[in-house]
């Protein structure tokens, strides 16, 4: 389309010039005539598609455009450019902000228009779209279309509705594939599956089935069942057309290949009817193994039925090549009679995949144990270690201790690939391997794989700096995040002491870099923005590095690293040139999750100041509550969409503002959640909606779409959960009528059911309930469910009584390994007597599982501690790995028992210190035990000792704290700043901090961020001396730890500058000590007010629909808007 088209609209608007000759429709090509009529009728989308199709085979001429203008006049259409603009603008609002209306428009397209729309949306390879001399960035336009959840759902539904009638089935499958990548779990609901075509050519059916196999894990259990039904219907129809014998099974080898993972939904009786010839053909196919490797949710009954058919079909089930073809079916192999060791080892090798199964791990564990015994027949563990695959995880500590160092060395290539090791096992194996190697070198460490986490902190620290530098660069670097903080600190301190730390800094990647102390960063030079790529930064590091690098680098170079956005201060936001800010806003928007609520507040104020008319609506949430009034009409959709994706938690509104935000959300929804489109728009905002709104204003149709989103919510209130339960019962009916699929879909919300209802489900679907229970948190949040699980497992396994050697256990049930593995958190329901009567071998095998149960009370923990004594002997004989394996059981050790332990290893002490619940006397005993057994004093402790001691440091007295070496304290200070110690201890740590960073009044934002809770040890005068601009850089945990009588010393100005997140951390006790002016300032901070900031006056202009949007985040978000605006050569932002 040429510049003349622009002229035509100008001519229309100028003087309403008369055309001297009459025009009729015959003067225009039919398609163009149709398009012009559609413009007159206001059907701009139809007109656009017709124009695009017309110009694909025609050239625009001046004569043609004259005829178009003449036709408008002949029809007495006398509109001005302004009126046309308003018409299109109104139309666009309906399309962009009402995806339901867009669906209706698309459904009414004729076949040619629909084909054109699909071509440009899905099959066009062009990054740019030319309409005459107008060039659109079509690649970005399409991207924006697919990022809008409502528009994307519309495209999905219209594809199902119209595509298979208008385009080739293969093209439609490809389109569905693209659309479903966005949100298969939300779009593919069981009722939608009913709209799938049931008459498809073979290739199209295969491709669509393949797509659904790829999306299997992203769909609900009910949808999986519905898709299986759709596939079955077509396969049965195909079978009936080719087979006249109704007694033969419709399931052929080809059917099984097409079903793929959906074969797990086949009824047991159908599997038993499959022709043996078809079974043999299926298992002979090369891809059968790949397919059977993915049946993660197969049940033991189905698996064993398939194994039986495969065996009956003539396959030798003891043949190694046959075993390799069985995929996950090997996890349920049950024919172990007279099996030789080689077959057992082949099965174990294949069973490494079994940890991917959804449940049934207790059965797998039991099978591996039996196969392990067979595999070791007439051989020692030393001889067979390398051929036992991940079954070695099932070996007890005493079995691993019996291994020779050479056996571990020879098997390390297998051992280093095994997952699921307990920490104690890794320690034993690492020790064995290294005792054979004698010298700890980079080469030896690089051979260890996951076993590297078992190397002691002191051993790592003893390596040469050069070897450690190689280690953090090499393949071992992938395991650095699995090391304990003490181990990481041991590595860093050695590298830092080498004098060549600057060259090593660039090699420290990922989260490991966060362990580098601020004081170490201060000492280095030669930083540049490029070396910070692939590194994660703490806020203190980012604040220092951004300020340092900003002196010689352009903002775009710093912000493009991602993590450095954490270092942008409010002052930097305010000082940014308008153009620089707007041009770089995209970096803040892309990394919003890295910004603190205070930074988001500063970002919002900056945007409001420089371009309030085009501020992205979601940023209004970070401003005081009254600014939400500007979110009206067309701003509602981008507001809801972005806040729903970002989450309110990041923006951290106060409770008062949260209510205002939720009120605005409800207004934007017209006070109801009508259907799935509203659910799409809300995103995780749905987690915050008031219970009454969920009860009264949410339709069942919306509930079906929202269930998945509700399951992702982190902190639903009890009242919200009650309303969700009410809706679920409306949706699925009484729980005693639920199917297994419905139960799985309800998932964690089954905890809302009564004990009686849960018992019914546990009887009907014991494996499903077990599977759900494994995902539930501690017993406090799901007592009824875990109790039902405990009863179900207990009743299902019968009574296991101990031998007569324990008279007091004669009539007591003893927990078995199988039960302990199944129960998880539900192990909390074992009585003290039952735990006392546990078989010693069962305890030894499962001590780490039991130590991980969060709900055990002190009586249960004491019973388990006594069991440990019975199994491992006297306390002084306990090894470090045994102490580490105790988990929470260690909390039962008294202050008198702790000194009896060998606590010479900082790794064992570190494992103890990570548990919460130690009394001061217990913590003191751990500290003294470590000092005594390691032969150290406080003054000789290294930084990694301090890090490893963790919360035990809270037991230090003031004299001990002052004797810590400054250099070691400075390296560990960020970790110490995470501790919640008493005020006297924090005050001593504060004094030590001054020896590192200078007197408290000289501290800057990066120091306050670095020291964390230590800032809670400031005295009244020191706190008053802190500049108000630094108040947001206190860590939230530090604010909570300032004693109320000290906190009240803050001036109203200081409190007003706390920032939203820190203001939200002020405790009730702290509030009670504040006067009226201070409380008013606290309210301003909570609301995100900036009293001194420009642009907060009441005269500030509201966002205007007609003004130009910012480069990113502006309200005009849809590609359709850009599309239509371009066609009519109008710029229509709103």
Query: Of the given ranges (400-404, 562-566, 637-641, 773-777), which has the lowest mean pLDDT?
Result: 773-777
**693: three-class secondary structure by DSSP:** helix
Dihedral angle at the C-alpha atoms of 733, 739, 744, 749, nearest 10 degrees? 30
**pLDDT at res. 82:** 61
Confidence check: pLDDT of 1097 > 70:
no
Model confidence band, residue 927 (pLDDT cutoffs 50, 70, 90):
very high
Query: Of the given ranges (490-494, 628-632, 806-810, 950-954), which has the lowest mean pLDDT?
Result: 806-810
How much is the average pLDDT of 687-706? Answer: 94
Q: Which residue has the higher pLDDT, 1120 or 837?
A: 837
**pLDDT at res. 147:** 77
How much is the average pLDDT of 745-754? Answer: 92
Cβ contact 637:98 at 8 Å: no
* Integer-rounded Cα radius of gyration of the chain: 34
Model confidence band, residue 132 (pLDDT cutoffs 50, 70, 90):
low
CB count within 10 Å of CB 405 equals 16
**pLDDT at res. 262:** 95
- Closest by CA to 471, choosing from 438, 433, 443, is 443
**pLDDT at res. 1123:** 32
237-289: per-residue pLDDT in tens? Answer: 887 766 545 567 889 999 999 999 999 999 999 999 999 999 999 998 888 88
Residues with Cβ within 8 Å of residue 694, at least 6 apart in sequence: 720, 723, 724, 727
User: 426-429 contacts: CB < 8 A, separation 24 or more?
Assistant: 426/450, 426/451, 426/453, 426/454, 427/454, 427/456, 427/880, 427/881, 427/884, 427/907, 428/397, 428/400, 428/401, 428/454, 428/881, 429/400, 429/403, 429/454
374-393: per-residue pLDDT in tens? Answer: 988 888 899 888 888 888 88
Per the prediction, the chain carries an average pLDDT of 86
Helices (H), 591-690: 597-611, 636-646, 648-651, 655-668, 676-682
Q: Which residue has the higher pLDDT, 20 or 911?
A: 911
419-476: per-residue pLDDT in tens? Answer: 888 889 999 999 999 999 888 889 999 999 889 999 999 999 999 988 998 888 888 8
Cβ contact 1013:990 at 8 Å: no
**pLDDT at res. 130:** 65
CA distance 180 to 211: 9
Which tokens belong to 597? 């609520």
**895: three-class secondary structure by DSSP:** coil
- Closest by CA to 631, choosing from 676, 661, 596, is 661
E strand or H helix that includes residue 136:
strand 134-137
CA distance 881 to 345: 28
With tokens 């002016």, the residue in question is 1077
**967: three-class secondary structure by DSSP:** helix
Q: Which residue has the higher pLDDT, 642 or 1070?
A: 1070
Percent of the chain predicted with pLDDT > 90: 56
CA distance 344 to 332: 13
Model confidence band, residue 1 (pLDDT cutoffs 50, 70, 90):
very low
Which tokens belong to 595? 């910004």
Confidence check: pLDDT of 559 > 80:
yes
**pLDDT at res. 18:** 37
Confidence check: pLDDT of 729 > 80:
yes
Confidence check: pLDDT of 137 > 90:
no
Rounded to 5°, angle at Cα 107 from 105 and 110? 95
Model confidence band, residue 394 (pLDDT cutoffs 50, 70, 90):
confident
Rounded to 5°, angle at Cα 709 from 779 and 736? 60
Q: Which residues pair with 535 in a beta bridge?
A: 510
Highest mean pLDDT: which range of 131-135, 360-364, 526-530, 1021-1025? 1021-1025
CA distance 309 to 271: 8
**pLDDT at res. 178:** 86
CA distance 723 to 339: 56
Dihedral angle at the C-alpha atoms of 411, 414, 415, 419, nearest 10 degrees? -170
Cβ contact 363:332 at 8 Å: yes
Percent of the chain predicted with pLDDT > 70: 89
With tokens 């960073």, the residue in question is 997
How far does CA 932 lie from the centroid of its chain?
A: 44
Q: Would you say how long the chain is, in residues?
A: 1134
Model confidence band, residue 24 (pLDDT cutoffs 50, 70, 90):
low
Cβ contact 393:418 at 8 Å: yes
Which tokens belong to 144? 């924006």
- Closest by CA to 816, choosing from 777, 781, 789, 845, is 845
**535: three-class secondary structure by DSSP:** strand
Rounded to 5°, angle at Cα 764 from 758 and 767? 85
């Amino acid at each position: 389309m040429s510049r003349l088209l622009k002229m035509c609209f100008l001519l229309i608007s100028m003087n309403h010039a008369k055309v001297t000759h009459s025009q009729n429709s015959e003067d225009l090509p039919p398609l163009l005539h149709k398009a012009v009529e559609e413009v007159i009728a206001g059907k701009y989308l139809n007109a656009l598609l017709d124009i695009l199709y017309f110009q694909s085979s025609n050239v625009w001429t001046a004569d043609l455009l004259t005829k178009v203008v003449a036709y408008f006049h002949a029809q007495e259409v006398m509109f001005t450019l302004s009126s046309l603009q308003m018409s299109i603008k109104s139309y666009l609002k309906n399309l962009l902000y009402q995806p339901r209306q867009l669906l209706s428009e698309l459904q009414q397209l004729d076949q040619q228009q629909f084909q054109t729309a699909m071509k440009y949306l899905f099959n066009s390879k062009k990054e740019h779209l030319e309409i005459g001399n107008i060039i659109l960035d079509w690649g970005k336009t399409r991207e924006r279309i697919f990022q809008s959840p409502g528009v994307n759902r519309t495209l999905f539904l219209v594809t199902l509705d119209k595509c298979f009638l208008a385009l080739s089935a293969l093209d439609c499958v490809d389109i569905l594939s693209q659309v479903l990548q966005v949100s298969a779990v939300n779009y593919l609901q069981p009722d939608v599956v009913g709209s799938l075509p049931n008459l498809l050519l073979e290739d199209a059916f295969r491709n669509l089935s393949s797509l659904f196999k790829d999306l299997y894990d992203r769909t609900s259990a009910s949808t999986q069942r519905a898709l299986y039904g759709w596939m079955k219907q077509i396969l049965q129809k195909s079978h009936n057309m080719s087979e006249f014998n109704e007694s033969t099974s419709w399931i052929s080898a080809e059917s099984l290949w097409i079903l793929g993972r959906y074969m797990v939904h086949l009824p047991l009786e159908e599997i038993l009817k499959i022709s043996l010839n078809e079974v043999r053909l299926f298992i002979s196919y090369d891809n059968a193994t790949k397919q059977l490797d993915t049946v993660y949710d197969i049940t033991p009954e189905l698996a064993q039925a398939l194994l039986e058919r495969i065996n009956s079909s003539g396959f030798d089930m003891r043949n190694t090549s046959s075993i390799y073809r069985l995929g996950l079916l090997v996890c349920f192999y049950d024919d172990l009679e007279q099996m030789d060791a080689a077959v057992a080892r082949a099965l174990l090798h294949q069973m490494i995949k079994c940890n991917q199964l959804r449940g049934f791990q207790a059965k797998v564990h039991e099978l591996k144990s039996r196969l392990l015994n067979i595999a070791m027949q007439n051989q020692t563990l030393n001889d067979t270690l390398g051929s036992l695959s991940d079954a070695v995880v099932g070996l007890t500590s005493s079995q691993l201790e019996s291994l020779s160092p050479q056996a571990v060395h020879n098997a390390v290539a297998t051992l280093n690939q095994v997952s699921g090791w307990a920490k104690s096992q890794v320690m034993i194996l690492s020790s064995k391997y290294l005792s054979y190697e004698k010298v700890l070198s980079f080469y030896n460490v690089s051979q260890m794989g996951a076993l590297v986490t078992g190397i002691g902190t002191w051993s790592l620290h003893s390596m040469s700096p050069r070897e450690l530098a190689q280690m953090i660069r090499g393949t071992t670097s992938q395991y650095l995040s699995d090391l304990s903080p003490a181990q990481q600190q041991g590595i860093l301190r050695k590298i830092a002491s080498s004098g060549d730390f600057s060259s090593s800094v660039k090699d420290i990647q990922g989260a490991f870099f966060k362990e580098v102390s601020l004081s170490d960063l201060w000492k280095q030079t030669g930083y540049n923005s490029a070396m910070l790529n692939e590194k994660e930064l703490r806020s203190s590091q980012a604040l220092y590095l951004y300020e340092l690098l900003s002196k010689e680098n352009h903002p775009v170079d710093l912000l493009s690293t991602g993590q450095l956005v954490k270092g942008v201060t409010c002052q930097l936001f305010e000082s940014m040139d308008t153009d620089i800010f707007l041009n770089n806003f995209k970096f803040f928007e892309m990394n919003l999750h890295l910004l603190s609520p205070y930074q988001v507040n500063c970002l919002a104020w900056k945007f409001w100041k420089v371009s309030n008319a085009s501020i992205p609506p979601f940023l209004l949430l970070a401003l005081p509550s009254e600014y939400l009034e500007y979110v009206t009409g067309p701003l509602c959709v981008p507001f809801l969409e972005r806040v729903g994706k970002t989450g309110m938690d990041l923006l951290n509104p106060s409770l008062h503002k949260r209510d205002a935000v939720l009120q605005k959300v409800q207004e934007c929804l017209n006070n109801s959640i009508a259907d799935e489109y509203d659910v799409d728009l809300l995103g995780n905002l749905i987690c915050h909606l008031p219970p009454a709104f969920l009860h009264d204003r949410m339709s069942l149709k919306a509930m079906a779409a929202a269930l998945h989103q509700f399951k992702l919510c982190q902190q639903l209130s009890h009242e919200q959960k009650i309303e969700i339960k009410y809706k679920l019962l409306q949706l699925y009916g009484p729980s005693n009528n639920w199917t297994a699929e419905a139960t799985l879909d309800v998932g964690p919300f089954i905890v809302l059911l009564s004990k009686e209802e849960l018992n019914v489900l546990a009887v009907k679907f014991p494996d499903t309930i077990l599977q759900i229970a494994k995902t539930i948190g501690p017993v406090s949040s799901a007592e009824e469910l875990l109790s039902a699980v405990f009863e179900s497992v207990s009743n299902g396994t019968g009574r296991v009584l101990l031998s007569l050697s324990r008279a007091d256990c004669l009539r007591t049930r003893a927990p078995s390994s199988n039960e302990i593995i199944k129960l998880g958190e539900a192990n909390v329901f074992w009585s003290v007597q039952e735990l006392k009567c546990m078989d010693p071998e069962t305890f030894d095998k499962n001590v780490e599982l039991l130590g991980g149960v969060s709900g055990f009370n002190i009586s249960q923990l004491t019973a388990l501690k006594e069991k440990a004594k019975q199994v491992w002997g006297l306390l002084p004989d306990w090894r470090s790995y045994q102490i580490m394996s105790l988990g929470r059981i260690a909390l039962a050790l008294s202050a008198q028992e702790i000194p009896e332990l060998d606590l010479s290893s900082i790794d064992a002490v570190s494992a103890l210190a990570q548990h919460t619940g130690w009394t001061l006397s217990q913590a003191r005993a751990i500290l003294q035990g470590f000092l005594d057994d390691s032969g150290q004093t406080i003054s000789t402790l290294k930084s990694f000792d301090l890090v490893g001691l963790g919360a035990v440091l809270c037991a230090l007295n003031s004299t001990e704290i002052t004797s810590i070496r400054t250099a070691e304290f400075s390296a560990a200070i960020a970790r110490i700043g995470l501790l919640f110690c008493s005020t006297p201890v924090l005050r001593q740590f504060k004094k030590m901090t001054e020896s590192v960073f200078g007197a408290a009044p000289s501290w800057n934002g990066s120091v306050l961020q670095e020291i964390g809770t230590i800032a809670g040890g400031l005295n009244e005068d020191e706190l008053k001396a802190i500049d108000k601009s630094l108040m947001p850089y206190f860590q939230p945990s530090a604010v909570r730890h300032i004693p109320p009588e000290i906190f009240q010393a803050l001036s109203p100005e200081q409190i007003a500058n706390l920032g939203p997140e820190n203001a939200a951390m002020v405790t009730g006790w702290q509030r009670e000590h504040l006067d009226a002016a201070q409380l008013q300032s606290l309210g301003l901070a909570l609301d995100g007010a900036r009293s001194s900031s420009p642009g907060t006056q009441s005269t500030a202009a509201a966002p205007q629909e007609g003004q130009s949007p910012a480069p990113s985040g502006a309200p005009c978000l849809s590609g359709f808007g850009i599309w239509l605006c371009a066609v009519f050569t109008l710029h229509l932002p709103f």
